[in-house]
Structure formats: structure tokens, C-alpha cells
Amino acid sequence: MNCFLVDTSGYSALRKGHPGIAEEIRKADRLCLTVVVLGELRAGFSMGSHRRTNEDLLALFLASPRVEVLILDKETSERYAVILCALRAIGTPVPTNDIWIAATAMQHGLPVLTTDVHFQRIPQILVRHFEN
């Protein structure tokens, strides 16, 4: 089964027509997002000039039977702690939201589909990275 956890940058790249991201999403059997990604997207939409259009496109994406929104729970928090402590031990800064996204990917055994290089610094997860 071909599954991914789509990061905020991956979703944004899809909307901008990134050919590699679009192909991975087209081929995927299952696509997941976290509530953290939804929060980042909606914050971006609120600050932009095309909020309604972006919300409508997101609603269509989320309505797909292949898409699932993953919540954060006790197990996610345990994975977050493991990743954060490991990153601090090696002196590798990663934004907090990306650590939560990575913890969710680790919990569910999903590679992160992204254009964000931060995820490549997290050894506990698999990453499908594309250049912008």
C-alpha cells in the first residue's frame, strides 16, 4: 500500500502544481494529514487574499475517501518526546510543529511527503522530499 503523511509544504506544493508531489499524491492509496498541518494551512489561508478559495480546495481534498486526518494523542506525545530529545542531543534545531508532524508519521509508520528540508534531519522517520 502506498501511503503518505502530507506536510504543509507538500500540500502547498500540490496546489502550486509541483509535478513530483502531484504524481506521488495521484499514485497514493492513502493520504494523511495531521491536525497540526490543518492548523498551519488555515492560518496561512487566514493571512492570505484567497482564503475562501483555499478553504474550498482544502475541503475538496479532505472529502476524498483516500484522505484521513490524524489526531494527536498520548502515543504521539511519547514519539514527540523521543524525537525532540534526540534532536537536542545532537544540536539539530527543527521547528516544533514539524516535530509534532514527524511524531505522527513515526507513530503511524508513514513517510512524510514534503518540500521542507527539516524533516530530513529527523532520523526516526522516512521522508519523501522534493525540491521546491
The CATH number for 44's domain is 3.40.50.1010
User: Considering the chain, what percentage of its residues have pLDDT values greater than 70?
Assistant: 100
pLDDT averaged over every residue in the chain: 96
Reported confidence tier of residue 1, pLDDT bands at 50, 70, 90: confident
Sign (positive/negative) of CA torsion 24, 30, 34, 38?
positive
**Helix (H, G, I), strand (E, B), or coil: what is residue 123?**
coil
Query: 111 — phi, psi (to 5°)?
Result: -75, 145
Q: Pairing state of beta strands 30-34 and 3-6?
A: parallel
pLDDT(121) > 80:
yes
| pLDDT interval class at 71 (50, 70, 90) | very high
**pLDDT for residue 38 is more than 90:** yes
Question: Where does residue 88 rank: exposed (0-12), middle (13-18), buried (19+ CB within 10 A)?
Answer: exposed
pLDDT at site 61: 97
As a whole number, mean pLDDT of residues 32-46 equals 97
Q: How much is the pLDDT for 118?
A: 92
Residue 103: its pLDDT value, please?
A: 98
Mean pLDDT to the nearest integer, 1-6? 92
Alpha carbons within 13 A on the beta-carbon side of 105? 29
The Cα-based distances of 7 to 76, 88, 91 in angstroms read 16, 22, 23
Confidence of residue 46 (pLDDT cuts 50, 70, 90): very high
Comparing CA positions, the residue from 56, 64, 63 lying closest to residue 15 is: 56
Range 106-110 average pLDDT: 97
Domain that holds residue 114: 3-129
Number of domains in the chain: 1
132 pLDDT above the threshold of 90 = no
